[in-house]
A and B are shown apart, each in its own frame.
Chain A
Amino acid sequence: MSDARPRLVYVCEGGDCSEKGSVELHNDLKEMLKTADPDGKLKLRKYPCFGGCEHGINLALFPDKVFLSKLKKEDLPRVCDFVCGKSPVPAGHTGIVAKDVEQIVWDLLDTGF
């Protein structure tokens, strides 16, 4: 049994977020990470819906448990630097969705098994 779980970047592709461009944002981030994370230490994934729909586009970093909201394409360079550990959490994008929405996301990902 191993506990070497990877660092995961989840981009919401729920109905509201995808209508705001989350699929494109995911694909653009994927391209940026090819350069910024050449060893592939981060795993970029789509997530069906976090439930923070009013505040999309949403992105979650796990197991760091950082939840970013209201992201737009122009935020991507800062987001990329952040998830690669090169800069602090982008200001103005955290603490926006309700705490219980965040918590359920972490509970789902932190499976206990």
Chain B
Amino acid sequence: MNAVDLEARIPNNVGLKDDKKLLRALEQWQPRFLDWWREMGPSDFREDQIYLRTAVGVGQGGWANFDYVKMPDYRWGIFLAEPEPEKKIHFGDKLGDPVWDAVPGEHRNVLRRIIVTQADTEPASVEQQRLLGHTAPSLYDLRNVFQVNVEEGRHLWAMVYLLHKYFGADGRDEAEELLRRRSGHADNPRILQAFNKPTPDWLSFFCFTSFTDRDGKYQLAALAESGFYPLARSTQFMLTEEAHHLSVGENGVGRVVERTAQLMKEGTDPRTVGAIPLDIIQKYVYEWSSASYDLFGGEDSSNAATYFGAGLKGRYREGDGLYRDPKALEQAYTTQVAEGTALRTLEIPLRRAMNALLLEAYYADCKRIVDRWNRTLKRYDVAAEVKLPSLRFNRQQGIHAGKWYDPEGNPIAQAEFEKRRTTWFPSAEDYATVKSCMKKVYEPGKIANWIAPPAQGINNNPFEWEYVKFH
């Protein structure tokens, strides 16, 4: 394990100073990253002091160093989790072989594609969220969106390091492309569709961090099992930071639900006081969760089987020894798919169902957060509940694409789906209602009327703390 070098132009624990060629390549990429950040990162706020967490190492306490920082001065570093000695591949056909510290030639293209796809999501989300600071409901939330943004920037650095170090000229070209694509751009969009969706308001942001970022958690967790050890160690550390992003989303939607529930209990219509009614929250949940289901890819996937067999991408927490058959050759995955207006059982050989397994783990996690929001509603004696749609609902990818289901997963006719579309997804009017609530609140301790304050602040500071100091 290399020592942490914090004084370097690029803080790192990967021994950059001893690899002059790589260091030069990354130092050439750095100004282009900063140009991209200035153009596509958070709009304005460059001179303001933000109370941010910066990773300065992977050891105890090192990943969470809190201080005021101007965002362009944030120290984006490259950190890999500590290696385990004599680490072996623990799944697939290479079970028991030593992990790879270099890219096996036969997996070069596949690994590059996996890394580029993951990497592309990182700048994409920063671009999607670049205007949110102007309508932040509190300083606490303003600081949180910037924290998410700078850490997604660091995750881009983590992936770009892998591309530069292990994939030669091809990797360097891919790293340049990561700064050229743009979220939502007609001609040069980001790779995955959910990362081209506009994030026009804070409810969208909280839904994004609840559902779309949560997909990222599961993809990273699967890559953290990889036999390509630099990728595994890189994603293991990214997961530590990602947990905070998910709590921003989960707590964010939860606080919107809580404020709405408070008003409903008082007998006040949220619309009349600049807050968000429950039916619109529900539509946002349907929209963002179903779009995020598609990020897992097809439930029956030969690519997924190849990745697993080759030891490139494992199951959720594969390394913990939770699975009886680490080769996944002896079982099948059973699910149901529409046939006309009925459901029929579909059996998929387990290896080909790796995306479906990961999606199921993700769904259980989403169910947990929605249940938590519903406990809040119950606490305020609100009988209505937020519902998480079925994994079959509104799918554009996989075995349910081109089929039509209601949110409970019952097959329906396409005409019925289209007829009910506006009852399930936000309309232009709904977006306008939410937009009308989005007014900035920059005074410490104050908060917008559409969201409840958090139960606790950041780093043991109170909600009233001055999380952003304007210049």
Contacts and interface: CB of A to CB of B under 8 A. Distances in A.
Do A and B truly interact? Answer: yes
Contacts of A108: 316, 361, 364-365
Interface string A92-113: 0000001011001001111101
Interface stretch (B25-33, B122-130, B368-376): B368-376
B267 interface: no
Interface size class of B (residues with CB under 8 A): 35 or more
Contacts of B460: 19
A113 B325 CA distance: 7
Interface stretch (A33-41, A44-52, A65-73, A75-83): A44-52
B306 interface: no
Contacts of B324: 1-3, 5, 113
Contact of A98 (B244, B375, B459): B375
B459 A19 contact: yes
A98 B250 CA distance: 16
Contacts of B328: 113
A53 B251 contact: yes
Interface string A1-40: 1110110100001111011000110010000000000000
Nearest to A16: B247
A70 B297 CA distance: 38
A113 B318 CA distance: 11
A107 B364 contact: yes
Interface of B: 60-61, 63-64, 217, 221, 239-240, 242-244, 246-248, 250-251, 315-317, 320-325, 328, 330-331, 350, 357, 361, 364-365, 367-369, 371-372, 375, 455-456, 458-460
Contacts, number: 97
B375 A23 contact: no
25 contacts: A1-B324, A2-B324, A6-B321, A13-B240, A16-B456, A18-B243, A19-B456, A19-B458, A19-B459, A23-B61, A27-B60, A46-B240, A48-B217, A48-B243, A48-B246, A49-B243, A51-B372, A54-B455, A104-B367, A104-B368, A108-B316, A108-B364, A109-B322, A113-B315, A113-B328
B264 to A, nearest CB: 22
A110 B317 CA distance: 11
B331 A113 contact: yes
Contacts of A1: 324-325, 330
Nearest to B254: A53
| Smallest CB-CB A-B distances: 7 pairs | A15-B247, A15-B244, A51-B368, A104-B368, A14-B243, A1-B325, A6-B321
Tell me whether chain A's interface is mostly helix, strand or loop, or mixed: mixed
B60 A8 contact: no
Contacts of A14: 243, 246-247
Interface size class of A (residues with CB under 8 A): 20 to 34
A15 B246 contact: yes
Contacts of A109: 317, 320, 322
Nearest to A46: B240
Nearest to A24: B60
A18 B458 CA distance: 11
A23 B459 CA distance: 13
B346 to A, nearest CB: 17
A86 interface: no
Contacts of A2: 324
Contacts of B330: 1
Given A23-B60, A53-B251, A6 B243 contact: no
Contacts of B217: 48
Nearest to A5: B321
Given A24-B61, A48-B217, A98-B375, A15 B243 contact: yes
A104 B221 contact: no
A107 B360 CA distance: 10
Contacts of B251: 53
Nearest to B460: A19
Most buried by A among B328, B365, B460: B365
Contacts of A43: 320-321
Contacts of A16: 247, 456
Nearest to A47: B317
B368 A101 contact: yes
B64 A18 contact: yes
Contact of B239 (A19, A24, A48, A54): A48
